[in-house]
Structures are given as C-alpha cells and as structure tokens.
Amino acid sequence: MKILIPVTGFGASGGMRVLSRLADEFIKNGHSVDFLAPYDRSIPYFPTNAKINTIHVDWNFPRYLRYLKFFSEILFLSFWINKHQEKYDLVLSNAWITAYVVIFANAKKRLKKFYYIQAYEPDFCNEQKNPILRVILRFLAKKTYGFGFYPIVNSEIYKNYREIVAHDVVEPGIDGDVFFPAAEDFGKDSIKIGCIGRREIWKGTKTILDAIAIASKALNISIDVEVAFNLPDGVDENEKIKLKTPHGDKKLADFYRGVDIFVATGHIQSGAFHYPCMEAMACGKIVITNYSPGNEDNAIFLNEIDKKVISSKIVEEIKKPKFNKIELIKNSEKIREKYAWNNVARKMMTIFEENLNKK
C-alpha cells in the first residue's frame, strides 16, 4: 500500500510523533509511506524512515502578509497532490488545515481519503486573539468534519463529538522500551510532583500549580514541583518550582520517572487521549487526570477540574502510608502492551485495508 501524509510542517507535538511512528511501523510491514511538507519545515523533530517530499514557496512575504504565505503553501501542497496522486492508494489528513490541502487537491475518487482526528480542533482556534479571525478559523475547522473523508479518531469521546461522527478509534502508541518504571522503590521521604507546562490557560498548568500550593499548605509540608517545557504567564522558577526541558523521548521518560505523582489535567475535552497521561502511567507513576487512557481503575480520575479538587486528591495520596508500587507496575505493563506501536499500527492498517477493498 502506498500512503501519502501531507503536513504543514513538522514539529514537536505528540501528534507529530504519532505520524512518524505510524509511518515507520507501516514501512516495517512492507508498505510505502511519503510525507509532504513545506521545504522550510520539512525536518522531522521525531525521526522517520518515510520519504519526505517538499514544496517551495520562494516569495519573500513581509510579516504582515504571513497568512498569505501560509495560504500559498496550502495551495502548493494541493497542486503537488493533484499532480502525483496516481502514485498513492490513500492520503491521510491529520489536522483541519491538511484536510483543506486534500480537498483543494481535487483528487480523483480512486485516491482514498482518510482523516485522523487527534483532537476537536475548533476549540484550539480560541487561542486566536483577533475575534473576527477566531470566528473564521473555528468555522473553517468545523467544516472539515463534513468533507466526506473516512474519519478515524484517537479517543472514544470523539466518535460522536459535536460535528464529528466516526466509527473507528486508533489510539496513539508508546515505546515500552523507553517509557517504563524505575527499578528502585518508591520513597516518601520527600514528595515531588510533576506536570507538563503550557502557557495556554486551557492547558491547565496554572491550575495545577495552584493546587499543589494549596496541598502543601494543607499538609504543612514542602512539595517540590518539576514542570516540563514551559511555565504559564505570571509564574517564575523558584526554590520549589523547577523548569525542565526534557527534549527527546528518553529524557522525557527520565522526567516522568523522577517524580512521585504526575498531574495531567486540563480544562477542555475531558476524556480525550492525553500523551503525558499515557507516558507517565507507562513509567509507573501515580497519575491524577481527567484524560484517557486514565480511568477510575488505573488512575486518580477526576470528573471535575479546579484547583481545590486537584489539591484534595494530592493530599489524599500524600497522606497514604506508602505508594502501591505493585499496582502501579501492573498498570504500566497493561499500558505498554495495549498501546505498543506495532499493535496501534496494525489496528489502523486494518481500517485502511477494509475501506480500500470496498467498491
């Protein structure tokens, strides 16, 4: 099978890791996978064995016309697909913008079109400060769910979510040889809590840090906090809050293993699949979350998110005489087996093959 995956540029997001790893698994099983990207954003943060085709937009746009440059890139990507469509059996859109790339390509019916939906993206358009542009972007993102591509979602909650209607779910995978529990026993002499830091308010980092502060005060103890990548606005590094930059999967796994409790909560799309939640669980950590693959059996699962709710759960865990290492190890084993990349890729390939065989 020959697969084309257009992207508007490679980055460090979890969604891009999924695409790189799926591509490599497909290639291992004898399939051909090509990416298509703008030349100046064509170096993958997550390495892949797939071929990378590029388009060039050489015009020098002034900054205030950056959206015109971006739209030109979308058209060039579309033209490339239209010209080379006979080489491929299917094209996989992976974000609302690449869905427009595919629709503008006006490809023939024989080129099967799939849409891997990894989040309800109209919500992300709320980050746009310009209110008019925000409304336009939300409208455009919503429209893509009606394009008629075959949808595959990465979480059960998206099967019937607002404008999304899908039947098939393919969750992200994980490398069990990288994300695994630490060998040493879990100690409670000092408590260290970790989270992934993001500046966006809806990501919830500020809420998590406020919750930890409340828990520290309630217990009258000092809690060390490690935040990966970014601190939210208004928060600075200090004696108790340390900013870490664990770039690459191995360093990221070490980050998870270095904390006692990991908090993976956010303010939108509760129940969606959350990469840090899965990774921390695979590393044998206690995880406080409102996201999948966490649930009431394998994590401290929250149905309500605010700093008081999170802090109460932190207090409960710290008050326990010891962490249940055996149970955490069992959770880790289940996660690493269920979401092994070869299993995830096989699941998606089966969906591809079933649909390609339909007349």
At 260 the pLDDT is: 94
User: Which is more confidently placed, 239 or 228?
Assistant: 228
- Mean pLDDT on 316-339: 91
Is the pLDDT reported for residue 261 higher than 80?
A: yes
Domain 192-338, second-level architecture: 3-Layer(aba) Sandwich (3.40)
At 189 the pLDDT is: 64
At 61 the pLDDT is: 66
Is the whole model's pTM more than 0.85, yes or no? Answer: yes
On whether the CB atoms of residues 108 and 85 are closer than 8 A, the answer is yes
Q: How confident is the model at residue 64 (pLDDT cuts 50, 70, 90)?
A: low
CATH number of 2-173+340-356: 3.40.50.2000
At 291 the pLDDT is: 98
At 70 the pLDDT is: 83
pLDDT tens, position by position, 4-55: 999 999 998 889 999 999 999 999 999 999 999 999 899 999 999 999 999 9
CATH 3.40.50.2000 domain locations along the chain: 2-173+340-356, 192-338
DSSP symbol at 186: P
pLDDT tens, position by position, 181-226: 998 655 556 799 999 999 988 999 999 999 999 999 999 999 999 9
DSSP symbol at 283: T
At 127 the pLDDT is: 84
**Regarding beta strands 224-228 and 164-165, do their DSSP bridges make them parallel or antiparallel, or are they unpaired?**
unpaired
CA nearest neighbour of 33 among 52, 10, 14: 52
